[in-house]
Chains A and B, each alone.
Chain A
Amino acid sequence: MVDVGGHMPERRIKDHPVLEFERGNEFYFDYEGKKVKAYEGETIASALYADGLRKFTESKLLERPRGFFCAIGKCSSCIMSVDGVPHTRTCVVLAKEGMKVENQGARPKFPFIEVEKGKRLERDIGIAIVGGGPAGLTAAIIAAEHGADVHLFDEGDKLGGQLVKQTHQFFGSHTEDAGIRGIHIADELIERAQELGVEFHNRSTVLGFYPERTIAVERDNRFEIYNTEGIIYATGAIENFLAFENNDLPGVYGAGGVQTLMNEQGIVPGEKVLMIGSGNVGVIVSYQLIQAGVDVVEVVEALPEIGGYQVHASKLRRAGVPINTRHTIKKALGEEKVEGAIVQKIDENWQPIEGTEREVECDVICIAVGLHPDNEFLRQAGCEMEYIRELGGYVPKRTEDMRTTTERVYVAGDSAGIEEATVAALEGKIAGAALTEEVYGSSKELEKKKEEAKKSLEQMRMGPYGEAPRQGVKMCTVDEEVC
């Protein structure tokens, strides 16, 4: 860690073997009367984090400290008052010069905000796609290529979903984008969608689904209504969490949150990281932490063997990081933030073995124990859901065309079941093609592209790692007549 200015370690990454961080203009905003440095393109939460802040707010009922956690606007642990607007998710709002940010405490004051009066926006549109990750983008592209009026909604300022934090190279024998890093794939997709005239609705939270395919959207504190011809839900996933003592302390982060902070915003999460979980995400993020100059003190894994690809695990071993299987975390140490952890061994029945407790020195505990589909909207839209363990949780029943049991409502990507980005992109293509056919009529070319994507998807799931999703998908795929 580079020490600048005497006392404060520099948390913004300068040298990175893979990434280059082109920071924009430097400016300052106000946090509780203190000047905080930020660069153009940084979120409020990232800038505050780089400044050393750990406690962002307090829980409403227990008034315990709450910190940065998911970094993508899903967990509400970083809500603060920004320019008088309470409950602002600081991880998805960009910092601006002169902004006034305050810790709102457990319960903020009733706000005094002048909301501009005017007619409520209500529009009739063609296809609405919710979520601008790989699935949403490929769906938008294929639909727009065939003349559809396509609107892409995303909560964030930037599109690309979780691709933008994936700095590793994609691989696999049939992967279309093998060898390319996720961040570059996202840029290409966004550019293509833009060329085709897809209308982007950034900073737009889709709040609800109403009969006849109307969606309600919140954008910049305004309520908008869109009456659509068809909808594709591609809202991705939410990180799983683990139950252990003190698991709500600032410093306990989701692996995705760490990736966003580190790979997208260029800020290291801390100095010593304890990684929980050795699946693909656990081992990849561990390696990315090392690349960013952070010490990964240990990886613990409850299973008897490492879950992720051996290639990544070997890299960790070469870097001297111990991976302890049949281990779990017992508790996080610290009062206001993580100051260590207790880990222990577990037996064949997953029970902790007494007397094996051991203290680990760390300031960050990174949780990488999987994801579950984010698809509450589909439930609201009346789609029949089914619990499929192999796909990470509840998923909608769907046809091979990715059509749900609700008319003209399609699904793609992790919200249809946890798999990989490449699968998400292929499912997006299939859903985009099928909905375009349904709304605008069929064409030979569209049909051909759809069938090709289905074939690629089948091949993707052929390998040993595709076994679980292949079984899972089989269980929730239904015939055309059922939907």
Chain B
Amino acid sequence: MSEEAGVVIIGAGVNGLGTAYHLGKMGYDDVVVLDKSYICSGASGRNGGGIRQQWTSEENIKLALESRKMFEKLNEELEQDLEFYQGGYLVLAFDEDESKDFKKNVKLQNSLGVESQYLTPEEAKEIVPELNISDVVAATFNQTDGTIYPFKVVNGYANRVREMGIDIRDHTEVLDIVTEGDEIKKVKTEAGDIKTDTVVNAAGGWSSQIAEMAGAEIPNKPVRHEIMVTEPYKRFLEPMVISFKHGIYFSQSEHGNVVGGMGNPDEEVGVNQTGSLWFMKNFSKTLIDFIPRFSGVNMIRQWAGLYDTTPDAQPILGTVPEVERFYQINGFSGHGFMVSPVVDKVTAELILGKEPSMDIDRLSVDRFEADDFEAEGAVVG
């Protein structure tokens, strides 16, 4: 059996399904979305749901700002409450260097339309009264940042995409991408071949593997990041609280549970999605240092997901030099959810040959070859 599709999207996470959604919205439904596991099984279903616009690179700030505006309208579009709670992001500085950078960041963010503020530790404590500020030097805060419930967003896209007549095939692993010269011919799956000339690589932590199948090279490396959830409580925490120095972030969901994660600086590259004892020990200790009253709270679950990391911690978008019509939408380095609305829309526009609504040329994979990139400084977790 051989079938055809105009576009094959690999990965049924927020960016794969979001791209399918925008293609459908633009009137194009000859699309098949494939995933080797279930919908939302990768990082889309394993992240903390943070929506942040306080970045240090111009590209990320622009993507995040536009995406936040799109998230604000997404309830209406997907016809359900996605639990987008704009309690802000409180970013804490623990030394003078960080504090200096924060001032610079706020200036850049403000110049691009993000209304972040620079705060004293006392002002930070007014926002989170439980916060231990004994080592805090400064903070920044942006009210329109917040959190969203990732599963509802992804399932919302999946429902709309199906209504549009687009086929989502879960538990269908891609085995190979067959090319001739610089053209894609077909995608081989464990359930048969699909003829196509256009493939979207939205495979998150597995993106480099998928690229290799098509004979393309991207520098992405999967790295495990861990996260946990506590028992539910009445809301006592308005913003997401983060520290780059400690690598920690935590917020309280609309359900009342506190969701938080922390990166391990010694984490090795590789596909590993199991929870570690290191995380249990170190996350709980750090969390209690930040908010001592957490010592009386139980965790109910821990889990892990993959950051698809790039050398500059910024995504890889657009086409590749080796193969035509092989679109990348990966390498998000831990912030793929929060910038998804705009990058999904732009990817759909590029596929259909439309004028992109935002210039993303600087985020193509070429930047690494040309050695023309600057690392994003505000990565957490």
Query: A: which residues have CB within 8 A of B?
Result: 60-61, 85-87, 107-115, 120, 208, 210-211, 214, 216, 218, 221, 223, 225, 380
Q: Does B295 interact with chain A (Cβ within 8 Å)?
A: yes
A478 to B: closest C-beta gap in Å: 23
- CB–CB B295/A115 < 8 A: yes
Min CB–CB distance B94 → chain A (angstroms): 22
Q: Which of B257-279 contact A (CB under 8 A)?
A: 274-277
Interface flag for B281 (CB, 8 Å): yes
Closest to B231 in A: A87
Q: Quote the shortest CB–CB distance from A119 to chain B (angstroms).
A: 12
**Distance A108 CA – B281 CA, assembled complex (angstroms):** 25
List residues of B whose CB falls within 8 A of some A CB.
130, 231-234, 236, 255-256, 274-277, 280-281, 284, 293, 295-298, 302
Query: Which A residues are in CB contact (< 8 Å) with B298?
Result: 87, 218
Check if B295 sits within 8 Å of A109, measured CB to CB: no
Distance in angstroms from A112 CB to nearest chain B CB is 6
B275 pairs with A109, CB closer than 8 A? no
Query: A113–B281 Cα gap in the complex (Å)?
Result: 20
* CB <8 Å contact, A223 and B256: no
**Given known A60-B256, A208-B280, contact A110–B233 (CB-CB < 8 A):** yes
CB pair B277–A107 under 8 Å, yes or no, is no
* Contact yes or no, B296 A112, CB < 8 A: yes
- Tell me which residues across on chain B come within 8 A of A211, comparing CB atoms: 276
For residue A216, give the distance in angstroms from its CB to the closest CB of chain B: 6
A249 to B231, CA, bound (A): 23
The answer to whether B232 and A60 have CB atoms under 8 Å apart is: yes
In the docked arrangement, what's the CA distance between A108 and B236, Å?
11
User: Are A107's CB and B232's CB within 8 A?
Assistant: yes
Report the nearest A residue to B280, measured CB to CB.
A216
Partner of B234, one of A107, A120, A214: A107
Distance in angstroms between the alpha carbons of A111 and B236 in the assembled complex: 10
Task: Kindly list chain A residues whose C-beta atoms are within 8 Å of the C-beta of B130.
Answer: 110
CA distance A332 to B296 in the complex (A): 38
Contact between chains at A210 and B232 (CB < 8 Å):
no
With A60-B256, A111-B297, A221-B296 as known contacts, state yes or no: A86 contacts B231, CB within 8 Å: yes
Least Cβ distance of B300 to chain A in Å? 9
Q: Report whether A216 and B277 are in contact in the complex, using a CB–CB cutoff of 8 Å.
A: yes
CB distance from A110 to the nearest CB of B (A): 4
The answer on a CB contact under 8 Å between A110 and B234 is yes
- Pair B296/A210 contact, Cβ less than 8 Å: no
Tell whether A113 pairs with B295 under 8 Å between CB atoms, given A60-B255, A60-B256.
yes
Set of chain A residues within 8 Å of B297, measured between Cβ atoms: 110-111
Give Cα A113–Cα B236 distance, bound, in whole angstroms: 15
Q: What 10 A-B pairs come out closest when comparing CB atoms?
A: A113-B296, A115-B295, A110-B236, A210-B277, A107-B256, A111-B296, A87-B231, A107-B234, A110-B233, A107-B232
Contacts of B274 in A (CB 8 A): 380
Query: How distant is the Cα of A60 from the Cα of B254 in the complex, in angstroms?
Result: 11
18 CB < 8 A contacts A-B: A86-B233, A107-B234, A109-B233, A109-B234, A110-B130, A110-B293, A111-B293, A112-B296, A113-B296, A115-B295, A120-B281, A208-B275, A208-B280, A210-B276, A210-B277, A214-B277, A218-B298, A225-B277
With a cutoff of 8 Å between Cβ atoms, the chain B residues found around residue A223 in the complex are: 280, 284
Residue from the set B276, B298, B302 with the largest chain A CB neighbour count within 10 Å: B298
Using CB atoms, name the residue of chain B closest to A225.
B277
Measured CB to CB, the closest approach of chain A to B88, in angstroms, equals 19
Residues of B within 8 A of A109 (CB): 233-234, 236
Complex formed: what's the CA distance from A368 to B281 in Å?
A: 41
Q: How far is the CA of A216 from the CA of B228 in the complex (A)?
A: 15
Tell me what chain A mostly uses at the interface: helix, strand, loop, or mixed.
loop
- Which residue of chain A has the shortest Cβ distance to B257 in the bound complex? A60
Closest chain B residue, CB of each to CB of A117 = B295
Q: Is the CB of B284 within 8 A of A112?
A: no
Task: A208 to B274: give the CA distance in the assembly, Å.
Answer: 11
How far is it, in angstroms, between the C-alpha of A208 and the C-alpha of B255 when the chains are bound? 24
A214 to chain B, nearest CB (A): 6
A111-B297, A208-B302 known, 11 other contacts, Cβ within 8 Å: A85-B296, A107-B232, A107-B256, A109-B233, A109-B236, A112-B293, A112-B296, A114-B296, A210-B275, A210-B277, A225-B277
Q: A208-B275, A218-B298 are in contact. Are A61 and B280 (CB under 8 A)?
A: no
B90 to chain A, nearest CB (A): 17
**Chain A residues with CB below 8 A from B231, complex form:** 86-87
| Docked pose: A122 CA to B239 CA in angstroms | 35
Alpha-carbon distance between A120 and B293 when the two chains are bound, in angstroms: 18
Report B-chain residues with C-beta under 8 Å of the C-beta of A115. Answer: 295-296
Whole-angstrom distance between the Cβ of B241 and the nearest chain A Cβ: 14
Closest to B235 in A: A107
Closest to B295 in A: A115
Cα–Cα, bound, A228→B281 (Å) = 18
How far is it, in angstroms, between the C-alpha of A223 and the C-alpha of B284 when the chains are bound? 10
- Cα separation A107 to B297 with both chains bound (whole Å): 13
Minimum Cβ distance to chain B for residue A387 (Å): 16
A78 → B minimal CB distance (Å): 15
Contacts of B281 in A (CB 8 A): 120
Q: Are A61 and B255 in contact (CB under 8 A)?
A: yes
In the complex, what's the smallest C-beta–C-beta distance from B272 to chain A, in angstroms? 11
Chain A residues, Cβ within 8 Å of B276: 210-211
Task: Please measure, in the bound complex, the distance between the C-alpha atom of A87 and the C-alpha atom of B276, giving whole angstroms.
Answer: 25
Q: Within the assembled complex, what's the spacing in Å between the Cα atoms of A127 and B296?
A: 30
Residues of B near A214 (CB, < 8 A) are 277
Q: Min CB distance, A301 to chain B, in Å?
A: 36
What residue of chain B has the Cβ atom nearest to residue A210's Cβ? B277
* Complex: A115 Cα to B292 Cα, angstroms: 10
Q: Which residues of B contact A380 (CB under 8 A)?
A: 274
A111 contact set on B, CB distance < 8 A = 233, 293, 296-297
A25 CB, nearest partner CB in chain B, Å: 30
Tell me, in angstroms, the Cα distance from A380 to B256 when the chains sit together. Answer: 26
Please give, as numbers and ranges, the residues of chain A lying within 8 Å of B255 by CB-CB distance: 60-61
Bound-complex Cα distance A86 to B130 (A): 18
Q: How far is the CB of B230 from chain A (nearest CB, A)?
A: 10
Nearest-neighbour CB distance to chain A for B71, whole angstroms, equals: 22
Which residues on the B side are within 8 Å of A120 (C-beta)?
A: 281
User: Which A residues are in CB contact (< 8 Å) with B233?
Assistant: 86, 107-111
Nearest CB in chain B: distance from A66 CB, A: 13
Q: How far is the CB of A33 from chain B (nearest CB, A)?
A: 21
In the complex, A208 Cα to B278 Cα: how many Å? 13
User: B358 CB to closest chain A CB, in angstroms?
Assistant: 37
Residues on the B chain within 8 Å of A210, using CB: 275-277
A465 to B129 alpha-carbon distance, docked (Å): 63
A181 to B277, CA, bound (A): 42
Given A60-B255, A223-B284; A108-B234 close (CB under 8 Å): yes
A213 to B132, CA, bound (A): 36
- Least Cβ–Cβ distance between B352 and chain A, in angstroms: 40
- Docked complex Cα distance between A218 and B298 (Å): 9
Bound: A468/B231 CA distance, A: 40
Interface-centre pick from A110, A115, A208, A225 (highest chain B CB count, 10 A):
A110
Complex-state Cα separation, A208 to B297, whole angstroms: 17
Chain A residues within an 8 Å CB radius of B234: 107-110
Chain B, Cβ-Cβ closest to A113: B296
A107 to B257, CA, bound (A): 9
